C-alpha cells in the first residue's frame, strides 16, 4: 500500500478481534519505525513498553479503570499494546549515550564534528531547560513524532491501531516504576485487527478541505 492510500484508509480502531494476532515479524517493523522516528537534535527522549500477552496487557489495563474504563477493551482485546514513555529531562547519562551511539554509527568525520553535535544538542536542551523552561513538554513533543510515525506505519502494514491518552498516568507510572527511571507514561497505542464492532471502520474519513487547511504564498 502506498503511503497516501494508507493515510486515507487509516482510522482509529474502536474494537478489536481478540482472536487475531499480528505476526511478530510485522510488529518488528512497527518497533523499527518507532526507534527510527525523527526527533529534535536526535534527542530520542523515549522508551517503549510492549505488551504482547494477556498478562502484559492486563498490567496496562490497570490504568483504564474508573473514568477511563471505556478504553479497557481496546487494551485487553488488542494483539499488542505499546506504552510510549517520555523522559522528564535530558540528563548527562542520556546525552552521553546518544553521542557514543552516534560515534559508533559513524556520524562524525572527526573530533570537531563530534564536539559540534554535542554542543548543538546541549544548546537546545539548555534553551528549553533555562530559557523557555519547558524541557519536559519539548521532550514530549518528540515522542508524539514517534506516535505519528507508528500510526502511519501501521496503516501501510495493513494493521489497525488506537492511540489513547485516556488512562491514569499515575497508575501506569507506578506499575512500571517509570518515575524512578526518569520516565513518565505519555500515550498508549493498541495494535491489532478490528472486529465487526468497530463502527469507526465503516465511517467515511472526514478532513477539512485543502483550501481551509493550507495557505500557499508566492
Q: Are 98 and 41 in contact (CB under 8 A)?
A: no
Torsion of CA 157, 163, 168, 171, to 10 degrees: 20
Residue 180 a catalytic site member: no
Q: For residue 168, report the phi and psi dihedrals to the nearest 5 degrees.
A: -85, 105
The active-site residue out of 133, 141, 165, 170 is 165
Spatial distance between the Cα atoms of 57 and 40, rounded to a whole number of angstroms? 31
Phi-psi sector, 90: left (phi>0), alpha (psi -120 to 50), beta:
beta
Residue 102 a catalytic site member: no
> In this structure, how many other beta carbons lie within 10 angstroms of the beta carbon of residue 51?
21
Torsion of CA 12, 14, 20, 25, to 10 degrees: 20
Alpha-carbon distances of 184 from 16, 87, 116, 149, 180, rounded to whole Å: 27, 7, 30, 20, 9
The owner of cell 506505519 is 153
Torsion of CA 36, 34, 126, 113, to 10 degrees: -10
Residue 14 a catalytic site member: yes
Strand segments (E) across 4-108: 46-51, 80-87
Catalytic residues: 14, 74, 165
Amino acid at each position: 500500500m502506498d503511503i497516501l492510500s494508507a493515510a486515507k484508509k487509516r482510522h482509529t480502531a474502536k474494537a478489536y478481534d481478540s482472536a487475531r494476532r499480528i505476526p511478530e515479524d510485522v510488529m518488528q517493523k512497527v518497533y523499527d519505525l518507532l526507534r527510527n522516528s525523527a526527533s529534535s537534535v536526535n534527542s530520542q527522549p523515549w522508551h517503549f513498553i510492549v505488551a504482547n500477552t494477556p498478562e502484559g496487557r492486563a498490567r496496562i489495563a490497570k490504568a483504564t479503570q474508573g473514568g477511563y474504563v471505556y478504553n479497557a477493551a481496546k487494551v485487553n482485546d488488542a494483539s499488542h499494546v505499546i506504552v510510549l514513555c517520555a523522559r522528564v529531562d535530558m540528563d548527562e547519562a542520556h546525552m552521553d549515550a546518544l553521542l557514543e551511539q552516534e560515534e559508533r554509527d559513524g556520524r562524525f568525520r572527526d573530533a570537531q564534528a563530534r564536539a559540534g553535535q554535542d554542543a548543538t544538542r546541549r544548546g537546545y536542551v539548555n534553551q528549553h531547560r533555562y530559557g523557555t523552561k519547558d524541557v519536559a513538554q519539548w521532550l514530549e513533543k518528540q515522542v508524539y513524532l514517534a506516535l505519528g510515525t507508528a500510526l502511519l506505519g501501521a496503516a501501510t502494514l495493513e494493521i489497525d491501531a488506537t492511540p489513547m491518552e485516556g488512562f491514569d498516568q499515575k497508575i501506569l507510572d507506578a506499575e512500571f516504576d517509570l518515575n524512578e527511571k526518569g520516565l513518565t507514561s505519555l500515550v498508549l497505542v493498541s495494535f491489532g485487527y478490528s472486529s465487526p464492532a468497530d463502527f469507526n471502520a465503516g465511517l467515511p474519513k472526514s478532513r477539512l478541505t485543502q483550501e481551509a487547511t493550507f495557505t500557499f504564498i508566492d
